[in-house]
Amino acid sequence: MTTTATATKQFMTSDQLLEDWQGHRNLTRRVIEAFPEKDLFEFSIGGMRPFAKMATELIGIAGPALKGIIDNNMEAYNEEGFKPGTKEDILKKWDEETEVINHYFNMISEERFQETFNLFGEYEFPVYQNVLYFIDNEIHHRAQGYVYLRALGIEPPFFWERF
Amino acid sequence: MTTTATATKQFMTSDQLLEDWQGHRNLTRRVIEAFPEKDLFEFSIGGMRPFAKMATELIGIAGPALKGIIDNNMEAYNEEGFKPGTKEDILKKWDEETEVINHYFNMISEERFQETFNLFGEYEFPVYQNVLYFIDNEIHHRAQGYVYLRALGIEPPFFWERF
């Protein structure tokens, strides 16, 4: 094996990434569902945001960011457009965004994943890194939701159950 | 864009995956460092493990799993080999594993990432999915460490700072 070979190895295809991501999104959906209505909007540890706020952030990033990448639109990140009042509001929007994500993600070309994009006019990275960040950020906040559930005495869904 | 084109798009190279992973590992190292010695081994929320136990799990997975993939060894997962008594023990082992990960990860061929492997004799998935799982699991537990730190009144490192 040469260094050159190493530098050009494919790790995964874009289809595989999307399937992995939607698997994560299914799990996050189950974590939202596991919260009692009141705790979803109010429970907090150490001054952190309630899980409804974290879920609203995730909804505000993935779909809008992918649309921005396709439209070459560098508008600032904006969470103000969606103000859920109930768990049902969040789950409904979550499912709508599933289709938005599939639609725009599939429009990104292999070359584009390697090109730099100034996401939300603020995060200037290659597109593949931006996408990884969306997923990492989701895993990060969801895991904080796991701690909230445990603190509430509720068993969270299995981490490895995705579909 | 045709369906065929979609199915064969590369999302990222293996070098890019490794760089992303080691960036995550740098951040996890900073989270370990941020814990007071006693809290690292004792602090817990909702009956969950102290963060030292989670870090020990992460150390028990990444390097040994990659070595298993290269050696075609399906031995069971075993956390018993490493029993840290101090934060320094964990950080030292963490840094040693950085080299182990780089060494074995770079030996995995593009074809191998797509082949199924029965990791630890228990998790039978394509190798790329196994690798994604190591990283996801690290982000997941690290985020739980973030909540512990917040509950302890300690500001965790920035999520986006990796190098």
pLDDT value of residue A3: 47
The full set of domains in chain B, from first to last, is 12-151 (1.20.120.450)
- Highest-confidence segment of A4-13, B7-16, B42-51: B42-51
The answer to whether A116 contacts chain B (CB < 8 Å) is no
Whole-complex ipTM: 0.94
Give B32→chain A minimum CA distance, Å: 16
Residues of B in contact with A54 (CB under 8 A): none
Report whether A141 belongs to an annotated binding site. Answer: yes
Q: Is the pLDDT of residue B5 over 70?
A: no
Please tell me the predicted confidence (pLDDT) of residue B61: 95
Q: Which amino acid is at B111?
A: E
Q: Is B12's Cβ below 8 Å from some Cβ in A?
A: yes
What chain B residue is nearest to A162 in terms of C-alpha separation? B133
* Contact by Cβ (8 Å): A5, A55: no
Lowest mean pLDDT among A68-72, A74-78, A116-120: A74-78
What mean pLDDT is reported for chain A? 94
Percent of chain A with pLDDT over 90: 85
Neighbour tally for B13: CB within 10 Å: 19
Q: Does B146 touch chain A (CB under 8 A)?
A: yes
B73 touches chain A (CB under 8 A): no
CB contacts, 8 Å: A130 with chain B: none
Inform me whether the C-beta atom of residue A125 falls under 8 Å from chain B C-beta atoms.
Answer: no
Token duo for residue B151: 């509950």
**Model confidence at B16: pLDDT above 90:** yes
Mean pLDDT across A89-114: 98
Q: Would you state the pLDDT for residue A7?
A: 56
**Residues with Cβ within 8 Å of residue B106, at least 6 apart in sequence:** A1, A6, B14, B18
Question: How far is A60 from A71, CA to CA, in rounded Å?
Answer: 16
